[in-house]
Structure 1
Amino acid sequence: MLRKGIALAAFGLAIATAPAALAAGGAAPLKHAEFSFEGPFGKFDQAQLQRGYKVYREVCSSCHSMDLLFFRNLGQKDGPFYDPKYPNPNDNPYVKAIAAEYQINDIDSETGDVVQRPGIPADRFPNPFPNEAAARASNGGALPPDLSVMAKARHSGPHYIYSLMAHGYANPPAGLTVAPGQYYNKYFPGDLTASWSGDPKHVPPGGVLAMPPQLEPDKVTFDDGTPSTIDQQAKDVAAFIAWASEPKMIERKQFGLAAMTYLLIFTGLLYWSYRRVWRNVAH
């Protein structure tokens, strides 16, 4: 037992005194963006969601799929193009127009041939590639991740997307070797120790990814006249992906607040009943 205790103590000391290089890696602390949907009373900004969809459509959709999203979701309550005049989103003319912009693979019922047709609200967002091999071949061997739930799949998801897209890309620090076709991003989680020739105690934060910088000023023209800066584009597309990752967020919050209100009232009534029933009973 004594030897075992000594061994454990030695192991703990080794961890406590290990060089900083062993703990190197990880991303830089994220930048914080103010989003309207944060907090228990937060709601999605519909204008921002519309701008974010446009950034996704014109910038991201050429590589990134959204396999869990249907066009009709865009017209559902709290969605980017929700209109109370059309409680059934399949009837929403704007959603119909958006879906019709896409070409959807289908099967001809008479010949069995693969054909393409304009999209309808009931269709899923189409994948930009026919299969994984084609996706990797078009992106230097890297597989672009699906964005359907990206805001839920990453810690502080909307802030991660915003930070990575708007502020993460930079020239590699002197001493960091980045392979051709790779791009340094200080908010992309990784460990650059093996590629770092400088002080091992000061390995740069971040990692490398195959996606080059995608945003630039005025790359997307916003219909509402909002200045199309890199920061604005990144913030808007982060909000859109957050909505796509949890389109029922507002309903969930409202239900939670109603449930808490009910429980508080019920607790008050229960306490009042307890005091009234037992008020003449000695304790």
Structure 2
Amino acid sequence: MFCCYESGFGKVNRFVALFARQSVVNEPPLGASDFKAAPLLQTHLLKHGQGGSGSAGSNFFRALALFGAGASGLLSCATIAYASDEAEHGLECPSYPWPHKGILSSYDHASIRRGHQVYQQVCASCHSMSLISYRDLVGVAYTEEETKAMAAEIEVVDGPNDEGEMFTRPGKLSDRFPQPYANEQAARFANGGAYPPDLSLITKARHDGQNYVFALLTGYRDPPAGVSVISASQALLCFVL
């Protein structure tokens, strides 16, 4: 991206500099070799004149020079921001050969089913998936009958009924996954002040997506000899928690 900018706007900037220098110090008029640096501007220059009578052409090139300087500044800021964003994330995650990354590839449905079982047994006690409905699992990890039976195991507050009262009913396919906590304050109280993130779109919400999540889950190692960690008997290899 930056190289393309240099090859395009760089030629324009050099040509504008030559034109500005000519108008200030009365250098000889621009020649054919100068036009080669920016061939698309030759027609405009000939139309408005090269000498003092070409005031419209001079104004055009001054505006173009300002535009080039502004574009250069914006690209420089973007480059610095990208570099600081990379540094902010510390060590880079390993890149894993995911079988579903290809254009014609698809997810391993058996792996999705195992992942949902792990979520139910381990993660769901703290983390929500508030954007996922039970019907999203049909044909992906379970059959429709299996998913209906799974949804029926939960109780959902619904209503009001004809008497204006709320009631509970068995879950159905259109219901979202149940929340582990009633609200954010309850979640923070149960987790020492930390708020467990929702996992519905976690791979889109984290830098390097699925590589980050997989490295986070599998990156725990025993600490080196003689090193003690604060929170647990294991140390996370790739991240600082």
TM-score tier after normalising by the smaller chain length? 0.5 to 0.7
Q: Residue 41 in 1 paired to residue 104 in 2? A: yes
Segments of 5+ residues of structure 1 without an aligned counterpart are 1-22, 84-91, 188-205, 209-283
* Contact kept in structure 2, 1:106 and 1:116, CA below 8 Å: yes
* Contact kept in structure 1, 2:133 and 2:175, CA below 8 Å: yes
Which residue type is aligned with residue 122 of structure 2?
V
> Paired residue for 2:189?
137
> Paired residue for 1:185?
236
Q: Percent identity?
A: 35
CA distances 1:41-68 after superposition (whole Å, capped 9, x unpaired): 2201111111111001111111111111
Q: Residue 124 in 1 paired to residue 124 in 2? A: no
Residue of structure 2 aligned with 1:166, choices 197, 202, 218: 218
Residue of structure 2 aligned with 1:80, choices 130, 138, 141: 141
User: Which has the higher Rg, Structure 1 or Structure 2?
Assistant: 2
1:24–1:43 Cα change, 3 Å: closer
Whole-angstrom CA distance in 2 between matches of 1:183 and 1:105: 41
RMSD value, Cα:
3.0
Which stretch of structure 1 is more off in the superposition, 48-57 or 36-45?
36-45
> Paired residue for 1:64?
127
> Paired residue for 1:13?
none
Segments of 5+ residues of structure 2 without an aligned counterpart are 1-85
When normalised by structure 2's length, the TM-score is 0.56
Aligned length: 156
Higher normalized helix content (fraction of residues) = 2
CA distances 1:1-58 after superposition (whole Å, capped 9, x unpaired): xxxxxxxxxxxxxxxxxxxxxx987443323433321121220111111111100111
Whole-angstrom CA distance in 2 between matches of 1:154 and 1:24: 15
1:141–1:115 Cα change, 3 Å: farther
**Aligned positions of 1:179-218 closer than 5 A:** 184-187=235-238, 206-208=239-241
Whole-angstrom CA distance in 1 between matches of 2:201 and 2:218: 20
Q: Residue 102 in 1 paired to residue 154 in 2? A: yes
When normalised by structure 1's length, the TM-score is 0.48
Whole-angstrom CA distance in 2 between matches of 1:25 and 1:149: 21
Whole-angstrom CA distance in 2 between matches of 1:52 and 1:28: 26
Give 1:106 shift: 2.6
